[in-house]
């Protein structure tokens, strides 16, 4: 019940104003069979993540992912970068 890493990266959206990136937890069409099972797992993960984020006792400097150092810093494209035509 996981996406291929290349497919998962294609679902990312960056929100530079909020300094975050969002990865779709919904299974994309053709990504994997049994979307109902995936939905049950992803909803549980989302609920848990939201509960942790809303907990006033959670300190992100004390409890964080051990892989956090592997995420590269956000490097925005210059404002004059033109849009290109998307793939079919």
Residue-wise pLDDT tens digits, 21-64: 887 666 555 555 556 666 677 788 888 888 988 999 989 888 88
Q: How many residues does the chain have?
A: 88
pLDDT at 56: 93
Question: Over 50: is that where the pLDDT of 8 sits?
Answer: yes
Question: What is residue 72's predicted lDDT score, i.e. its pLDDT?
Answer: 84
Instruction: Show the beta-strand stretches assigned E in the chain.
Output: 13-15, 20-22
- Taking 50 as the threshold, does the pLDDT of residue 1 lie above it? no
Helices (H), the chain: 5-10, 35-54
Residue 58 DSSP one-character state? -
Which tokens belong to 72?
């590269």
What pLDDT score does 55 carry?
A: 93
* Portion of the chain with pLDDT greater than 70, in percent: 72
Structure tokens at 44: 């549980």
């Amino acid at each position: 019940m996981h996406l291929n890493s290349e497919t998962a990266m294609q679902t990312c959206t960056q929100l530079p104003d909020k300094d975050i990136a969002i990865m779709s937890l919904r299974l994309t069409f053709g990504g994997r069979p049994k979307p109902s099972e995936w939905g049950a797992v992803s909803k549980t993960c989302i609920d848990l993540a939201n509960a942790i984020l809303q907990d006033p006792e959670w300190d992100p400097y004390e409890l964080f992912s051990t892989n956090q150092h592997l995420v590269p810093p956000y490097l925005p494209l210059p404002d004059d970068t033109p849009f290109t035509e998307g793939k079919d």
